[in-house]
Structure 1
């Protein structure tokens, strides 16, 4: 074959290969937003709700320079506003007899980058009608709003458990009137989310003495809100999973420096004391942790080190 004939064929082949490569790149998508983790006889599934930027200015009790150094050393992503990109997750915990959801995500309360728990639950092979128990760590919208969509139950067969202290506070017109502009919208969000469950008697506003859910121990972690609660689920043979809630927001900073606090905490000193206490207990007992605002899947262990504490993320393994 002559060089004159060969040249256009080579050009065509290169163009075809380049086009195919470009098409393959445009078709690639991120994996589905769920992650499976066995914990004893439990099947724990992390459910990605989305991501949002948290302002650096909301991190208190540590110098800006030190915090920024820790964010940089841990390669924490930032958004176009130089805010710390933070993941939002909920956790499905399946025992041999229960389908428990720890927190429920945001639904439409915080914009389009969040609200993906229901779709990721379905991708994980579980229908919303199969959830029988929802344990809400606290009444902030990114944990509570997802139980309801457009005024209707997302989980029609579930009992929703939320600390009475949070129910009372966040449904109070008196507290709403006194709230800052930042918190004021949260009161209506809470009332709207709870309303259909209240109407059918499926909302359980519990106290420390009245909380009763099989296989689950209530751990009071008040501080971030009045009734903030964490839930320790027994997987037998010493294996336990703790749904931590909002004990941690800035993981790169608050694990090594648990005295660093989050500005929206209702009771800052109490939140700091709770963080130190729960880190110590989790480390000593080697509990599995599900942390809502630690990088997805937010499942791992907390261990003591020379500085403070360290987050050890779980390792991916095939689902056998």
Structure 2
């Protein structure tokens, strides 16, 4: 994700729950926004963690922090429409929609696999992933593998914080199409300013991680942990399926953004270079996820990012899943 030039970040972790359609169920905007802003003044100092079991796997939701994305960062709707929907869903802040940066640690007793590495302070109020790992008694050199779902700065910044390899014992997995795209000098020269940080970080990742494995298509990383192709948000955007003993969880990264998804697939996020591809993937994925009742984890949904896409009277909506009762 880009380094934002239009931002004024608030000072608390999110309070809101997400649900309903993009424009359905509106409430009194002014009073709801005022209440949300007042609640945001309360400081939060805890490190949030949430765990579930998927067969032999323990999956822990972590967070690197949050940022407020301007309302005009969602092409396909006006800023006023996005703000109105955000107010209705209690994710509105003075400077935009409150987004989380969730990461997920997958453990099976033998390996520790981290899905995404956070933004590491390059956006908003972030940089908390090392503390979240420490709350589990872990240091970054105890991670065996890192899967980067795509090469936007909020998903890889933690890999190279301080200009060094912060996961020295980890194998690194990134889709080859993303590696190719984000290390292409011609593409970087033609890209807008807000994507330059991601291009620069991508070069650093390739330089600092000799164990980088540029992967091609869907494949199994270890037994029960496999790559899902979700191309669209970026050329090599991927998800991760964790599956064992008849249970499964799909981490879908940036397939779903708060407020606008899954109700509308014709609403985008600013840095999606190929909007047609992003829409096409969501048009395919959301109905399938709804029909299968798939348990989903998403980077930017309210912590811990767990829910399902459900069909409700002909419209798709996000149904929060009770993390504590998934076992």
SS of alignment partner, residue 261 of structure 1: coil
Instruction: Work out which structure has the larger RCO, using CA pairs closer than 8 Å and 6 or more positions apart in sequence.
Output: 2
Residues 173, 96 of structure 1: CA spacing in aligned structure 2 closer, same or farther, 3 A cutoff?
same
Following TM superposition, by how much is the alpha carbon of 1:44 offset from its aligned partner in structure 2, in angstroms?
1.1
Per the alignment, residue 189 of structure 1 pairs with: 201
Alpha-carbon distance between aligned partners in 2 of 1:173 and 1:211, rounded to the nearest angstrom? 31
- Preserved contact between residue 36 and residue 319 of structure 1 (Cα < 8 Å): no
Query: Match for 1:229 among 228, 232, 238?
Result: 238
SS of alignment partner, residue 162 of structure 1: strand
1:116 aligns with 2:125: no
Instruction: Please report the TM-score for the alignment, with normalisation by the length of structure 1.
Output: 0.82
Alignment of 1:1-320 (within 5 A): 29-79=44-94, 82-110=95-123, 113-198=125-210, 202-208=211-217, 212-237=221-246, 239-249=247-257, 251-317=258-324
Following TM superposition, by how much is the alpha carbon of 1:280 offset from its aligned partner in structure 2, in angstroms?
2.2
Deviation larger for 141-150 or 206-215 = 206-215
Unaligned segments of structure 2, at least 5 residues: 1-41
Unaligned segments of structure 1, at least 5 residues: 1-26
Residues 233, 318 of structure 1: CA spacing in aligned structure 2 closer, same or farther, 3 A cutoff?
closer
Q: Which protein has the larger Cα radius of gyration, Structure 1 or Structure 2?
A: 1
Residues 266, 211 of structure 1: CA spacing in aligned structure 2 closer, same or farther, 3 A cutoff?
farther
Alpha-carbon distance between aligned partners in 2 of 1:102 and 1:28, rounded to the nearest angstrom? 28
Following TM superposition, by how much is the alpha carbon of 1:125 offset from its aligned partner in structure 2, in angstroms?
3.0
Residues 194, 65 of structure 1: CA spacing in aligned structure 2 closer, same or farther, 3 A cutoff?
same
More helix by share: 1
Alpha-carbon distance between aligned partners in 2 of 1:72 and 1:66, rounded to the nearest angstrom? 10
Alpha-carbon distance between aligned partners in 2 of 1:31 and 1:311, rounded to the nearest angstrom? 26
C-alpha RMSD of matched pairs (Å): 2.4
Following TM superposition, by how much is the alpha carbon of 1:276 offset from its aligned partner in structure 2, in angstroms?
2.5
